[in-house]
Every structure is written in C-alpha cells, then in structure tokens.
Chains A and B, each alone.
Chain A
Amino acid sequence: MNARLAPAWALLPDYLGQHVLLSACALLLGLAISLPLAVAASRSAAVRWPSLLIASLIQTIPSLALLALFYPLLLALSAVSLAVIGHGFPALGFLPSLLALTLYSMLPILRNGVAGLTGVDPAIVEAARGVGMTDRQRLFMVELPLAAPVIMAGVRTAAVWTIGAATLATPVGQTSLGNYIFSGLQTENWVFVLFGCAASAGLAMAADQLLGLIESGLARRQRWRIVTGAVGLIVGTLAALAPLASASLGVGAVRYVVGAKDFSEQYILADVIADRLEHGGASVLRKEDLGSTFAYDGLKAGEIDTYVDYSGTLWANILKRTDNPGRQAVLTQLTAALKQRDGVIVLGSLGFENAYALAMPRAEAEKLGIHSLDDLAAHAGQLTLGADLEFLSRPEWASVRDAYGLKFKRQAEYQPTFMYRALTSGQADVISAFSSDGRIAADDLVVLSDPRHALPPYDAVVLVSPKRAGDARLIGALTPLIGKISVDAMRAANLTVDRDQDKATPAQAAKALEAKVGP
C-alpha cells in the first residue's frame, strides 16, 4: 500500500500549494466584492434583489461548466486586449479558475451579509442614529460588529465550497488537488482518487474549523479565539505556499509547459516528453487533464509549449475537414495548414496511430458475424453504443454515422474508464475505442474495419507552440522521439496503467517506454 501512496505524497506539495493559492485568492476576492455589495444591498432593496438573484443564478450553473465558460470568455477578452493595448493574458489555468471560483464564493457571503446586516434590531439602529452616529460610524461601530458572526458563517460556507470546487480547476489547466482525482479516474488509480478527495476534504475541514474559531470568537467576544483562528489560517496558508515559492525561485531560467489531455496515453507521453526536457536541464510544468480544444488553443496561445495530439482529431476538429486523402497526405497537409494558419509546428508522428474506432467483444461479433462497420449497420438497431464524452459531438462520429447509416437502439456516454466497464457488463454492445488502447487486447475486443474510410487516420503527432518554434533546446530534445514509438509499445505501456492488477503509474510506464525508445 505504501508503494502506491508514495507517488501521491510526492505530488502533494505542488498540488496542495496550487490548490491553497487558488482557493485563498478566490475567497479573498469574493470577500472584497461581496462584503461591500452586501452593505449596499442591506441599505437598498433596488440593489438587494438583483444582486441576490444573480448570485443565486450563478450558483445554479454546475461549477465545472462555470469554469469551462470562462475560457472562451477570457480568450475573447484577451484577443480584444491584444488588439487594443498590445498585451494579451492567459485564458487557461489560474485566471479562469480564479474568476469562476470567486463568483462561486459570492452567494453565501452576500446572503449572510445581507441577513446579518438587515437582522440588526431596529431599536439598536435607531439608538445609533439617536446618539448622532453618521451612516459610516453606524456601519463600522454597530452594524458590522453585530452582523459579524452571521457574516463569518457565510465565509465558512464559501470557504468549504471554494476549496471543494477548486478540484474542478484541473480540466481548464490549473493544477489543484483535482489532478489526483481526474488522473486517478482515468487510470483507475483509486488510491489517487481517494487521496485527492481526502486531501481536499481535509483542507476544507481545516479551513472550516479555523474560520469557525473566528466566528465563535466574534459571537462570544473572545479575542483569543479570533487571534488563534486568524494566525492558524495565515500560518497554514503560508506553509502550503512555501513549496511553490521555493520552486519558482529555484531552478533555471527555462521552464517548459507540457500539456496532456485526460487519458492514460497522454499522461505517459507527457511524462516521456517532460523526462527528456528535464534530462536536458530544463524545468517542466505539467498541465494535465485538458479538454481537446483547451489543449490546442492553449498551445496556439503559447500557454502550453508542447503536447501530443492526433492527426485525425486536428484534421476534423481544427481544420474542419471531412474528407480522407490517406494517412500520409493528412499528415503532410495538416503540417502545412497548421503552420500557415496558426504558426503551430507539427514536429512529426511518434510512429503509431491512436485511431477512433468502434469495437465490440470478439464473442459477440463472431456470433452476429460482424467484421466491418458495414456489417454493424445491419445489426445496429438491436445494439447499444457506448461512447466517450466527446465522441458523439465530434465531426468524426457524424461522418461515420452518415457513411454507414448507423442507427443504434440506444446511445450512452461514459467517462472512458466506465465505458469499458459498460461493455464488459453488457450495458453497451459496441464502444468508441482508441486503437492504441491496451484494453482492446486485454478485454479481447475486435476493432471493426472501416471499408469506406469514413474515419481519418490518427497519427500521434508532437505539436510545438508558435512561441517555441525556434527553440532548439526543445526541438532538439523532442525530435529523437519521432517515428520511435510502435503501436505495440504504446499499447503495452497503456495497459500497464489501465489494467486492474499490478498497476503502474504513468510516470513508471513512461520510464519503461523510454527504455524501449532509447536515448
């Protein structure tokens, strides 16, 4: 057990530090906005109803969606600011996470602030006016002190929500304790998932207790409670941030950002790339669990320096092409088009394809006599399709569906790990699989052939951001990988991470893969 916990512990200083930084900033910003707003709202019904309504509406947006929505918004704002003042800003990572969590923290503070301030006994307000206090003196000498315990209760709620929701910042490229949960879910590393949950719950509970101490100190007018709680919060925050500060002050000038999408192969390849860069003396920051378009847009904008994508994905989703001129032609045209359009460098194919394919259990395929997608079309009406969360909304699906006239009895979407589970448990008959997935062989699945070439080829390609196009160190470190990874080697590496027994971490799988690739 200890051997499985060790890799999790090793990541904790970075993840926890980033998580605390994000949550603390969001909470402070939320306080700075919500408190004055609560004061204004408590004095005027014209401010009160709209602000409470908007804050409640924000709360109804699922937090993951709220985080994701800030990305296109910031991207557009960044483009505007680039055009107007000549400087853009990053649309991925810290900023969208901060803004979304700030909005998320506002409702409890606002609501309790208004309740606390309007709940002050009218006789006391009249007395405050009667003795000749100005509006400001009344607020600071009477109303805020009396409302403070109620306001603090709101701050506690906001802190717990913010710390919990900060785990969802991972998919928009902000490292947090959510990295344990997202990558653990992808690689079925339940130790990681539990570790991430426990760490974020522990953090939330610690913050809640310290804020609770301040709250009870305010209510009972006991200064020692307030001081102890405040000192605890400050010391805890600084202790969590210390590793970040030493990391940013330490090692060399060059710091590369390596991106990864949210599945095992991506983690492994990101680790391979990171290892090579670190071996060359550079320091590396990983941004993992990115959604498909976040990854490419982030690279284009220079927020990510390099990551691995797939030719067909870029072909269909970025270039919006629906034709299929063949594996080599796609690669050649893609390389030229991305360079010309976005300045993005396609360094080359790693040597294997990870194609979208439809797969089904061998026994069932043989029983029904299904070998190709044409055969599948004839039986689709009795079958259920299990797809990953992206597949059904991607252009590739539309082109396969239309080319073969596929019409399934039912379609269900799963997170990839659970998609395979659904297939083995019989809840799905056919799934959208990746051809380099180790589970195809492990679960004895057959990949259905595509005689009409409706699906484009999916060569794994190394992309380099326009910003690093002339970076000899980066390109020199990555070029030796081109053409060196066979589909069998990749499949084997993926399987060591994805299988149930004797699991390896992506970092361990990367080391094993590097040994096969050579220097």
Chain B
Amino acid sequence: MAGPIIELKDVVKRYGALTAVDGLSLAIEPGTFTALLGGSGSGKTTALKTINGLIIPDGGQVSIDGRAAGDEAGWALRRRIGYVFQEIGLFPHMTVAENIAIGPRLAGWDKPTIAARTTELLKLVDLPDNVGARLPAALSGGQRQRVGVARALAAKPAIMLMDEPFGALDPVTRDALGRDYRALHERLGLTTVMVTHDVWEALLLADRIVVMDHGKMLADATPSALLAGHGDERVQALMATPRRQADRVRALAGGAL
C-alpha cells in the first residue's frame, strides 16, 4: 500500500478558552469507511473540517495523499474532496441538475460531459431523470439529500467527507439512504469519513469507528471489536445502549430470529 490517503498528526483547534480538537492523530487508508463517533462538543465535526480545509488547525498537520493540506488553496483542495452535511445546502436558485453540475463546472468540464455526468449521477443516487429540471424546494428531504450526495460525487472525488449526512431524515429514509450510500462507497472505491452521534449508524455503516470525547480520541476499533468490549468504561457505556436494544428486539422477535 502507498500509505494513508488522509493523515492527521497532533491536530489542535482552539476557540478561545475551549480546545475543540486536542492533539488528534489519525491515519486513514484508501477505500475505508471510517466513522467519527461522539456526542455534541466532542470535536468530531471540527476534526472532519480540518481535512478539507474548511477549518484551519492551530497546531499539527493534515496531509491528503501525502501532501500537506496547507500547500494548496483551500478551494482547490475542496474540489477534489466530496462534502455532504446535514443541512445539505443546495443552492436554491439553481435547478437540481445545476446543483449537481457545480463541481464539474468549477473544474471546467465541457457542457456535453457535464450533462452526461448529471444524468449518470441522478441514476446513481436513484432519482428519476425528470427531477433534474426542478428547483430544490420542490423535493422531499430524502430526495434533497440524494441530490447532496450526487453533487458531492459529481467531480469524481476519491474522498467523501460526511457530517451527520442523514441526521435530519426520518428513520426509514435514513436507513435506505445509508445502505444505498454504503453500496456506492463499495462500488466507486471511495474513502469515506463520516461524522455521527448515532451509535447504530456508526456500527452498521462503518468499517472502523473512532470514538471522540472533548477533542481527544477515546477508542479506534472495528464495530465488532467495540461491541465485544474494546475500550474503557466510557466507550463501553456508549455501546451498552445498542447492545441492550438489540437484545430486546431479539427477545421480542422470540424464536423467529
């Protein structure tokens, strides 16, 4: 292997007296799906945003593809990294197709290539073709987040950063989108880093879970290792809930499971 595609070394970010990220080091291999798991104020979102330069760390170093993130302009870096977040942020004055096409347009692709790519992406995120001509306001929440994912993928990035991407959706839509995205991740060979506070989501989607608290890493393990008891009592307290819920569901289902 050529080494990690994303590497954080002793990254520190402070907001006044508050240290949001406190000496975080993390190496992420290509093709992996990593979840940053923690409660609010754990520093997971701040850590994620240092990867695409939306937040510039006060200390430490971030490297993408072995290159220091500060070596190029933030906007140039962000064109190579897909970014999806809870509020989605579709441009309300552009149609769905124009929203999806924004990355390729910034990258200077020609019009026929952009049009073909837009059609391809609508299919990829399982949206009907005629949605392309609509404005975002005319879509449901789930459809909008599918457009958000398509927009992030449009310029063919190798890395996808996702910040609570499905957090605002109803449970059924959320599950469907999560599974669909995981399939895309496999199919396109992406490297995905997803921030979530939902233990279930982390367990079901990720290959690797980094548990964060007060800006520090509490645990870094596979979902099965965490469920098997890896980590200190704080980590295990976090795992207790899904474990108990799973037991309860199993008991309710009785002999059926």
Residues in A45-75 with C-beta less than 8 Å from chain B: none
Binds B, one of A118-126, A225-233, A325-333: A118-126
Of B6-14, B80-88, B219-227, which binds chain A? Answer: B80-88
Closest B residue to A142 by CB, please name it. B91
B residues less than 8 Å from A126 (CB atoms)? 54, 85, 87, 89
* Residue contact B79 to A124, C-beta cutoff 8 Å: no
Is the Cβ of B78 less than 8 Å from the Cβ of A132?
Answer: yes
The answer to whether A129 touches B93, judged by C-beta atoms less than 8 angstroms apart, is: no
Which residues A109-154 have CB closer than 8 A to chain B? 121, 123-134, 137, 141-142, 145-146
Whether A221 is near chain B, meaning CB under 8 Å from some CB there, is yes
Contact A128 B88 (CB under 8 A): no
A127 contacts across to B, CB distance below 8 A:
83, 85, 88-91
Chain B 149-165 interface 0/1 with A at a Cβ cutoff of 8 Å (1 = within): 00110000000000000
Query: How would residues 89 to 115 of chain B score, 1 for a CB under 8 Å from any chain A CB and 0 otherwise?
Result: 111110000000011001000000000
Q: Are B106 and A131 in contact (CB under 8 A)?
A: yes
A121, A124, A132: the one contacting B106 at CB < 8 Å is A132
In the complex, chain B residues whose CB is within 8 Å of the CB of A124 = 89-92
Find out whether the CB atom of A130 lies under 8 angstroms from the CB atom of B85: yes
- Find out whether the CB atom of B106 lies under 8 angstroms from the CB atom of A133: yes
Determine the distance from Cα of A130 to Cα of B87 in the docked complex, in whole angstroms.
Answer: 12
Contact indicator per residue, chain A 342-368, by CB within 8 Å of chain B (1) or not (0):
000000000000000000000000000
Q: Which of B73, B80, B89, B92 meets A130, CB within 8 Å? A: B89
Query: Is B46 an interface position by the 8 A CB rule?
Result: no
Chain A residues touching B, majority SS: helix
- Kindly state the interface size class of chain A when it binds its partner: 10 to 19
From B52, B88, B102, B151, name the one whose CB has the most chain A CB atoms within 10 angstroms. B102
Least Cβ–Cβ distance between B160 and chain A, in angstroms: 12
The reply on B15 being an interface residue by CB < 8 A is no
B76 sits at the interface (CB 8 A): yes
Size of the B side of the interface (Cβ < 8 Å), in residues, is 24
Closest Cβ of chain A: how far from B87's Cβ, in Å? Answer: 4
Residue in A123, A132, A137 whose CB lies within 8 Å of B88: A123
Cα distance A131–B103 in the bound complex, in angstroms: 6
**Residues in B whose Cβ lies below 8 Å from that of A123:** 85, 87-89
Q: How far is the CA of A130 from the CA of B148 in the complex (A)?
A: 11
* A133 and B75 within 8 A (CB): yes
List of B residues within 8 angstroms of A145 by Cβ? 93
A141–B89 Cα distance when bound, in Å, is: 14
Q: In whole Å, how far is B215's beta carbon from the nearest beta carbon of chain A?
A: 21
Shortest C-beta distance, A514 to chain B (Å), equals 66
Shortest CB distance A313–B (Å) = 62
**B89 & A146 in contact (Cβ 8 Å cutoff):** no
A131 in contact with B52 given A123-B88, A137-B106, A221-B93 (CB within 8 Å): no
Specify which chain A residues have a CB less than 8 angstroms from the CB of B54 in the assembled complex: 126, 129-130
Kindly supply a per-residue 1/0 record for chain A positions 264-281, scoring 1 wherever the CB is within 8 Å of any chain B CB and 0 otherwise.
000000000000000000
In the bound complex, residues from chain A placing their C-beta under 8 Å from that of B106 are 131-133, 137
User: In angstroms, how far is the closest chain A Cβ from the Cβ of B10?
Assistant: 25
Residues of A within 8 A of B52 (CB): 130
The interface bits of chain B over 67-80 (1 if a CB of A lies within 8 angstroms of the residue's CB, else 0) are: 00000011111111
Nearest-CB residue, chain B, relative to A130: B83
Among A131, A132, A137, A146, the residue within 8 A (CB) of B93 is A146
Q: How far is the CB of B26 from chain A (nearest CB, A)?
A: 21
Chain A residues in 8 Å Cβ range of B102: 131
A131 contacts B79, C-beta separation under 8 Å: yes
Residues of B within 8 A of A133 (CB): 75, 106
Residues of chain A within 8 A of B93, CB atoms compared: 142, 145-146, 221
Q: Which parts of A385-430 form the interface with B (CB within 8 Å)?
A: none
Interface contact A132-B75, CB-CB below 8 Å: yes
Partner of A131, one of B76, B78, B87: B78
CB distance from A164 to the nearest CB of B (A): 33
CB <8 Å contact, A130 and B91: no
**Closest chain B residue, CB of each to CB of A127:** B89
Closest residue to B107 on the A side, CB-wise? A132
* Contact B92 A146, beta carbon cutoff 8 Å: yes
Contact A121 B89 (CB under 8 A): yes
Give Cα A130 to B74, complex, Å. 9
Considering the chains assembled together, what is the distance between the CA atoms of A221 and B92 in angstroms?
11
Complex Cα gap A133–B89 (Å): 14
The CA of A142 and the CA of B105, in the complex, are separated in Å by 14
State in angstroms the CA–CA spacing of A221 and B75 once bound together: 28
CB proximity of B239 to chain A, nearest CB, Å: 32
Q: Which residues of A contact B151 (CB under 8 A)?
A: 131
Instruction: Using CB atoms, name the residue of chain B closest to A221.
Output: B93
Assembly CA distance A494 to B41 (angstroms): 84
- CB pairs A–B below 8 angstroms (16 shown): A124-B90, A126-B89, A127-B85, A127-B90, A127-B91, A129-B54, A130-B89, A131-B106, A131-B151, A131-B152, A132-B77, A132-B79, A132-B106, A141-B91, A146-B92, A221-B93
Q: List 10 tightest A-B contacts by C-beta distance, closest first.
A: A127-B89, A132-B79, A123-B87, A130-B83, A132-B78, A123-B89, A132-B75, A134-B75, A124-B89, A145-B93
B interface residues (Cβ-Cβ under 8 A, vs A): 52, 54, 73-80, 83, 85, 87-93, 102-103, 106, 151-152
A121-B89, A132-B78 given; 6 more Cβ-contact pairs under 8 Å = A123-B87, A124-B90, A126-B87, A131-B103, A132-B80, A132-B106
